[in-house]
Every structure is written in C-alpha cells, then in structure tokens.
Amino acid sequence: MFENINIVIGITGGIAAYKACSIISYLKNNGANVDVIMTENSTKFITPLTLETLSGNKVITNMFECPDYRDVHHISLATKADLFLIIPATANIIGKVANGIADDMLSTTIMATKAQVVFAPAMNNNMYENPIVQNNIERLKEYGYKFINPSIGHLACGYEAKGKLPKTAEIVKYLKKEKLL
C-alpha cells in the first residue's frame, strides 16, 4: 500500500514513546521504508533494538556515531524522507524546532528536510496548555509544519485531560486525510 514511500519517524522522550512501535509496524508492514531517529532521552523509554527490529533499519540516535561518515547521515535521511513524523513529540522538541535549535540528530535532521514534518504532541495537559508550548506550535504551523491534536483521556500523570497520543488508526486517518499517505 505504501511502497516507495520513505518515512522518517522521530521518537522523543515522552511516556508515549512505546506507542510509536504500533505506527512503525503498521507503516512497515504496509510496504513503507521506515527510518527511525531517536533522541537520547527517548532511549530511556524504549530501546533502539526494538525499533530497529520493527523498522528493519538501523536506528540513529547520536549524530557523531554514524555507521559511515562518507554519507552525511542527517542530510541523506533528511533528503530521502517523503514524510517526517515526530511521534510522540515532547514540549522540548517542539520548542527546539520552533526556535531553530539543531543540537542533536533529530532536531538537525528536521532542520535539514524539505519533507512535510508532522508532530504528534503528547504530554501532561498543563505542559500542553502552557502558552509557551502553544506559541511554539502556532509559530511552527505558520512555517508549514503540521500537528496531530492530542486526544483527551487518562494521562500517565493521572489526570483525565488533553495530552494523549492518538491511537495509530487515528494518526493514519489524519495522514490520509491530509493526503500524506
């Protein structure tokens, strides 16, 4: 179904990181080529081994530990991407990209891509409602970045509120609606 589509998935350090397994499997099993970039913090939540196994590709975390420096990996991944998904997106990565910070493999590759980048924010509701986070989201939308709204539900912090990563089916539905898949 998604043959010939190169999708780069960025994983950041949120409690919903494990849920990225489901979307990676779905895209891969339906023919997409999936490359995964993890932030260092996300590896506290889920292992590169798991995502490497599910994606069938080497997972990149550290910009300075690339398999082969003849291929400048953040540029080749950025160029190869037809679609770039950040699932889940922390307040931190949203803030970094909104402010032009490129200090790790994920933020640098996002900076270098011309592919459509879609963020799926997931965080505590107070974090999500923080005007700084909302401002960063609005600023990124003005630049053409897209956002999948978090859903309302039981958050890991114990609250029943907006901040949950939507289910894989909802993420796929959004991507199809936007004609990105």
Ligand X SMILES: Cc1cc2nc3c(=O)[nH]c(=O)nc-3n(C[C@H](O)[C@H](O)[C@H](O)COP(=O)(O)O)c2cc1C
Strand, helix or coil at 156? coil
CA 85 vs. chain centroid, Å, equals 4
Q: Which amino acid is at 39?
A: T
* Distance of alpha carbon 173 from alpha carbon 164, whole angstroms: 16
| 66 is an active site residue | no
Site string for ligand X, 2-21 (x = CB under 6 A): ----------xxxxx-----
* Distance of alpha carbon 176 from alpha carbon 118, whole angstroms: 13
Q: Is 140 in the site for ligand X (CB under 6 A)?
A: no
Q: Is 117 in the site for ligand X (CB under 6 A)?
A: no
Name the minimum Å distance from CB 43 to ligand X. Answer: 9
* Smaller CB separation from ligand X, 34 or 121: 121
Name the minimum Å distance from CB 176 to ligand X. Answer: 26
* Distance of alpha carbon 94 from alpha carbon 1, whole angstroms: 30
Active-site residue set: 157
Q: State the residues that interact with ligand X by CB under 6 A.
A: 12-16, 39, 41-42, 90-93, 122-123, 127
